Structures are given as C-alpha cells and as structure tokens.
C-alpha cells in the first residue's frame, strides 16, 4: 500500500463515520467513493500482477574497464491472462561507489508470452559489480497500491583491467633480447641445427671432423639457441611503494598486459602478488579476475622460487618505486637462466632493461623500445 492508498483508506473510513454520526449523505458518497477506488485498485493489482520469470545476460561476456556493457533481460510471463503494463527495477551495487537503480518499463505481455528489456552498464574502472535482485512492480492507475515480485536473483559481474597486447622479447632483438641471449648461452648449446663452414673465432670443439673429412672445407656444428620459455610477473601491493592510487592502477594495467600477452605467446606463465600465486593453463583468466578486485595492502608476496620449466626465463617486477619490497625480493632470486626487468610507475628505474610507466603511453613506448619494436601497440580487449 502506498502513501496515497493509506490516505484514501483513512479518508473513506472517516467520511463514512462522520456521515453516519451526523446523517450527511454526501459524506457517505465520498467515503464510498474512496473505498470503492481502493477495492478496484486492490482487484487490479491482485489479478493483473505479472507472473514473470527472467534470465539476465551481460554482453560482452568479459567486461573491460572503460567499456560500456549491456545487460539483456529475457522475460517469460506464466500467467493465464494478459499482464498489465509494469516496471522493472534492478539494483546495481558497486563497492566504494554506492547503489544505483536501473528502471525499465515493460508493455503488457500476452499469456505465455515473452519480452525483452535491456540497459547500459557503465564500467569506468575495474572491479566487481553486483546486479539484482530484479523486481517487477505493478501499480494501479491512481497509485494507491503496488505489488512487487522477484523476477531473478543476484549476479556478480567482473570488470577486468585493460590489458594491452605486448610483443614478447625475442633473443638477440632489442636490449632485452640481447640480454636474454646472454642468459641463453649459459644453458649451453641447444639442439643441433645444421653444419656451416668454419670461420675465425669458432670453438675448435664445435668442428664436425667426420663431415669435414668428407669434403674440402672444415665444417662446424651450429646449434639453435632456445628462445624465451617462461615468465614470472610480480605485482607489489604494498601501499608504501606507490605515490597514489592512480600509480597503483597503472601497475595493475601493466600486470594484466604482461600476463595476458605472455599466455597468448604460449609462455609458461606465473603471476604473483600480495597473497596470490597463480600458475597453470588458466593463469591469464585467473589473473584478470584477481586483478579486477585487487587492492593495496601489505600482504606478503609468496616465495619467488625458480619458475618450473626449462629454457630461458623472464621475471618482471612491478612497483611504484625501485626500492620497494617486491622489487628487492625479485632481485634476490638466484637463477642464472632468468633475466629480471623492473617496471616502476612513479619514477625512472636504473638499468638498461628496466621500464618506467608513469603513464600508460610511456610504458608502451618503453616496452616496445626494450623488445626492439618500433611504434606503439594499440590497447586491445582481453577475451
């Protein structure tokens, strides 16, 4: 019962009572009118309330910060008579932002019929959004009564951070590629590739004496150097490491870009943050879900032991400053076959293979320069 319904019921009862006491027929008529309107409103609301069930679908399936999602509502009316026009109300709840309501109007649905409705879901930043419950509300034309039914329950939508498509380093290309090549040589010769003629500077032990004896030239064995095989991404979540929340958000974007790109390049990928250690074939999807909700906190970073797998490895430590605990922990990892890159979001790091990310554009430019690629990679959606 609405406020107007309560007033109508009280007014009708008072009019009838006064008319009874003083014998005023007009007050009987007014009271009967109020009560009649209330009874008609009650009958309409009870009989025409839609018996609706619904399904909620969000598209695209993976929402990325900065995009606008669409929530589609598919409704089915289970009543035996045509429904009246009704309203839909859906609560949109987001942490640290507050609740908002999505209000929609649905035209009458035939018995056993279906209908659809939709609304836009802005995603200005990463995080978790709770949708629902979805409620159907029907009211009489005078606004005396209204009835609400639950159409569908609560769903949670994950808004992932932006993930740029990054070029992975190739041995011998760019400053990082040359550094990784030096690391690869510590592994010793790779698989046998081919024979070539001896040139000054070749190791005598690489000479293939049997093949050389069959020809006129001295031949040496040439081995294929193994490329980058594994990547470990470390995100420091210590608040003391960052100048502000915007700096941390850049670090989250960098982490999402590196994990997503490494997995797309079929590298053995591991993601580590405060209290988080993700590995396995679904590491990219799992990391994006974690990064959607991750917050600053002094949680302990898990031990950065050697990444499982063979071949050359790359460890990328992301923090606000080069003196953070996460960076120091990464530098203390002992693995002669693994190179370490530090990405700082508040300052310029020292070293030829480190990257500054004081803006997203600066990070993309510095990373491309580090891997020997010209031009900026455009931001890409994750799937």
- The verdict on 133 and 242 lying in the same domain is no
- The verdict on 220 and 232 lying in the same domain is no
- The verdict on residue 82 lying in a domain is yes
- The verdict on 111 and 204 lying in the same domain is no
pLDDT band at 77 (very low <50, low <70, confident <90, very high): very high
- The verdict on 87 and 20 lying in the same domain is no
- The verdict on 236 and 205 lying in the same domain is no
pLDDT band at 331 (very low <50, low <70, confident <90, very high): confident
379 vs 383: CA distance, rounded Å:
13
Contact 345, 235 (CB under 8 A): no
Tell me which DSSP letter residue 217 carries: S
Domain that holds residue 144: 52-160
250: pLDDT strictly greater than 90: yes
62: pLDDT strictly greater than 90: no
pLDDT band at 383 (very low <50, low <70, confident <90, very high): very low
- The verdict on residue 183 lying in a domain is no
- The verdict on 245 and 277 lying in the same domain is yes
- The verdict on residue 185 lying in a domain is no
Higher pLDDT, 311 or 308: 311
- The verdict on residue 181 lying in a domain is no
| HSE, side-chain direction, 13 A CA sphere, residue 62 | 15
Range of 9-13, 42-46, 212-216, 272-276 with top mean pLDDT: 272-276
- The verdict on 332 and 231 lying in the same domain is yes
pLDDT band at 382 (very low <50, low <70, confident <90, very high): very low
380: pLDDT strictly greater than 50: no
Contact 138, 48 (CB under 8 A): yes
CATH number of the domain to which 342 belongs:
3.40.50
295 vs 318: CA distance, rounded Å:
14
- The verdict on 149 and 219 lying in the same domain is no
- The verdict on 33 and 90 lying in the same domain is no
35: pLDDT strictly greater than 80: yes
Number of domains in the chain: 4
114: pLDDT strictly greater than 70: yes
106 vs 56: CA distance, rounded Å:
15
- The verdict on 356 and 290 lying in the same domain is yes
pLDDT at 207: 78
- The verdict on 72 and 103 lying in the same domain is yes
Instruction: Output the CA angle 209-213-219, nearest 5 degrees.
Output: 55
- The verdict on residue 332 lying in a domain is yes
- The verdict on residue 179 lying in a domain is no
| pLDDT tens digit sequence for 132-182 | 999 999 888 888 888 899 999 999 999 999 999 999 999 888 999 988 887
- The verdict on residue 251 lying in a domain is yes
The H or E element spanning position 24 is none
| HSE, side-chain direction, 13 A CA sphere, residue 24 | 12
82: pLDDT strictly greater than 90: no
pLDDT band at 238 (very low <50, low <70, confident <90, very high): very high
Mean pLDDT (whole number) for 178-192: 65
Q: SS3 of 197, please?
A: strand
- The verdict on 219 and 235 lying in the same domain is no
Percent of the residues in the chain that have a pLDDT greater than 90, as a whole number: 47
């Amino acid at each position: 019962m609405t406020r107007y319904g309560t007033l109508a019921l009280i007014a009708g009862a008072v009019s009838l009572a006064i008319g009874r006491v003083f014998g005023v027929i007009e007050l009987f008529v007014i009271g009967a009118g109020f009560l009649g309107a209330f009874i008609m409103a009650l009958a309409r609301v009870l009989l025409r309330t839609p018996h609706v069930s619904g399904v909620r679908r969000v598209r695209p399936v993976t929402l990325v910060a900065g995009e606008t999602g669409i929530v589609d509502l598919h409704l089915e009316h289970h009543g035996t008579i045509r429904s009246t026009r009704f309203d839909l109300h859906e609560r949109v709840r987001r942490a640290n932002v507050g609740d908002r309501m999505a209000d929609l109007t649905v035209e009458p649905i035939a018995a056993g019929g279906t209908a659809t409705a939709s609304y836009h879901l802005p995603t200005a930043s990463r995080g978790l959004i709770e949708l629902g419950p979805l409620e159907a509300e029907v009211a009489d034309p005078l606004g005396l009564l209204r009835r609400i039914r639950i159409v569908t329950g609560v769903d949670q939508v994950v808004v992932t951070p932006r993930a740029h498509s990054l070029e992975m380093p190739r041995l011998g290309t760019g400053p990082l590629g040359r550094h990784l090549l030096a690391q690869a040589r510590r592994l010793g010769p790779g698989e046998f590739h081919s024979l070539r003629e001896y040139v000054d500077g070749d190791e005598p032990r690489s000479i293939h004496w049997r093949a050389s004896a069959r020809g006129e030239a001295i031949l040496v064995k040439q081995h294929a150097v193994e490329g980058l095989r594994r990547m470990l991404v470390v995100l420091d979540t210590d608040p003391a490491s960052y100048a502000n929340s915007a700096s941390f958000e850049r670090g989250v974007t960098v982490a999402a870009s590196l994990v997503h790109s490494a997995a797309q390049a079929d590298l053995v990928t591991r993601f580590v943050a405060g209290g988080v250690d993700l590995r396995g074939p679904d590491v990219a999807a799992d990391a994006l879900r974690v990064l959607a909700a991750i917050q600053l906190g002094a949680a302990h970073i898990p031990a950065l032991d050697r990444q499982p797998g063979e071949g050359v490895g790359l460890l990328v430590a992301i923090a606000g400053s080069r003196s953070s605990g996460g960076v120091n922990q990464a530098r203390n990892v002992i693995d002669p076959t693994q190179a370490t890159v530090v990405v700082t979001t508040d300052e310029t790091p020292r070293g030829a293979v480190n990257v500054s990310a004081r803006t997203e554009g600066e990070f993309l430019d510095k990373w491309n320069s580090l891997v020997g690629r010209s031009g900026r990679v455009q931001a890409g959606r994750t799937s």
